[in-house]
Structure 1
Amino acid sequence: MITYVIIGLTVVISLMCFSNHALLGKLSMNPYKVIHSGEWYRLITHGFVHADMTHLFVNMFTYWSFGTYIESVFRYNDFGAWAYLGLYFGGMIVASLYDLFRYRNEPYYSSIGASGAVAAVLFSCIFLNPWDKILLFAIVPIPGILFGVLYLVYCQYMAKQRGGHINHNAHFYGAVFGFIYPIFLEPRLFQVFLNHF
């Protein structure tokens, strides 16, 4: 399954980068180098690099939890492997566009992690099954649609605070991309979504 291949590659590359800071720097999302040096590959490679084991585990566990389901849904609906890859890597790229524009002239800014792609997969699940339960704080089960709204509000609030080392804008834009992506694959799914209410 594609999900397991992506998880495997991400784990291996992240572990390599834990002890190889030069490789980490080469793969990270550095908008300045993307724009001024033409290193466009960074829009993808940053998603295979994580800051530490906790960052890696949280992203890959969340991805596994929802990615295996979405991959099977895409296969069942004949969207195919390319559509699934489009969701994951499209989420990764779209999640980076805000930073790409905002930090294009700041050579020392960089970002790593698959959070934008993972948020895209999670929000495709919410779109397809808005009333399925998601564990808030990994404890409290709430409907996915409520979790989604709270998540987006939280991301925007935290992005405005500009504190810490978490790229909340990437989470937000990846999530929005994942929510609307199924509609591009099959516009009739929007009516199916509305019928849940």
Structure 2
Amino acid sequence: MNNRNAFPVQVVLALLIINGILFLMEMTASGRQLIELFALWPLGSGSDFGFGSGLFDGAAPGFQVWQLVTYSFLHGGVFHLLVNMYALWLFGSRMEMVWGSKAFLIYYFVCVIGAALVQLLVASQGSGPAYPTIGASGGVFGLLLAFGMTFPNERLMLLFPPVAMSAKWFVIIYGAVELYFGVTGSMAGVAHFAHLGGMLFGYLLIRYWRNHPPRYR
């Protein structure tokens, strides 16, 4: 038996473990340093930008290139973590079994980085205090899109309201809701355009793979 058959979702499991460990570290005295160094800060942020919550005493840390990835391993609370990790397991495990671990890993972080780039672009158009972006949602929304494109007719059950619908409609509705919230500014504090960025970059990579199948599948 080869390793892929014996342990088909090794990347998903590793991501779950890393996210869990870092969340526990966020709960310690080093949590502030983790946010300073590894959250996604807007371009140009630094001593000229105040941080609205008061956590950083008037100065926001600046953007660093590694934050394009590391922000995805931090979360703002237990509910934030659990929702993202549940979706990562639900959709990610299926996609890793379809694609294989290497292709899955590349796809996930393309979505994470794409979400970060879109968020940086949107944040650069605003003004006021600089806020960090954290969470795996960009990657998760990319996986949601991949699941809907791969299994379009599979039935999914919503939690609120408890309604069953096909995966393709689930993706369409979720994407439309995120676009509405992003454009209208509803649900402040949620990086809606980052979610859409994860879906966009995921879609572009899937389209590319359909014409140029990766050799590392």
Structure 1 runs not aligned, ≥5 long: 76-80, 190-197
Q: What is the aligned partner in structure 1 of residue 19 from structure 2?
A: 10
Identity of aligned residues (%): 26
Q: Does 1:175 align with 2:199?
A: yes
Rounded to whole Å, the distance in 2 between the matches of 1:132 and 1:33 is: 44
SS in 2 for 1:142: strand
Could you say if the C-alpha distance between residues 117 and 52 of structure 1 is closer, same or farther in structure 2, counting changes exceeding 3 Å? same
Letter in 2 for 1:26: L
TM-score (norm 1): 0.84
Structure 2 runs not aligned, ≥5 long: 1-9, 47-60
Number of aligned residue pairs: 184
Q: What is the aligned partner in structure 2 of residue 86 from structure 1?
A: 106
Q: 1:67 aligns with which of 92, 101, 115?
A: 92
Could you say if the C-alpha distance between residues 37 and 21 of structure 1 is closer, same or farther in structure 2, counting changes exceeding 3 Å? closer
Q: Does 1:146 align with 2:169?
A: yes
Q: 1:33: how far off?
A: 5.5
Rounded to whole Å, the distance in 1 between the matches of 2:171 and 2:84 is: 17
Rounded to whole Å, the distance in 1 between the matches of 2:149 and 2:204 is: 8
Task: Please show how residues 12-161 of structure 1 align to structure 2 within 5 Å.
Answer: 12-19=21-28, 20-32=31-43, 39-75=64-100, 81-104=101-124, 108-137=130-159, 139-161=162-184
Letter in 2 for 1:13: L
Q: 1:175: how far off?
A: 1.8
Q: Which has the higher Rg, Structure 1 or Structure 2? A: 2
Rounded to whole Å, the distance in 2 between the matches of 1:123 and 1:117 is: 10
Letter in 2 for 1:98: V
Greater per-residue helix proportion: 1
Q: 1:134: how far off?
A: 1.9
Q: 1:64: how far off?
A: 0.3
TM-score (norm 2): 0.77
SS in 1 for 2:75: coil
Letter in 1 for 2:205: Y
What do you get for the CA RMSD once the two structures are aligned? 2.3
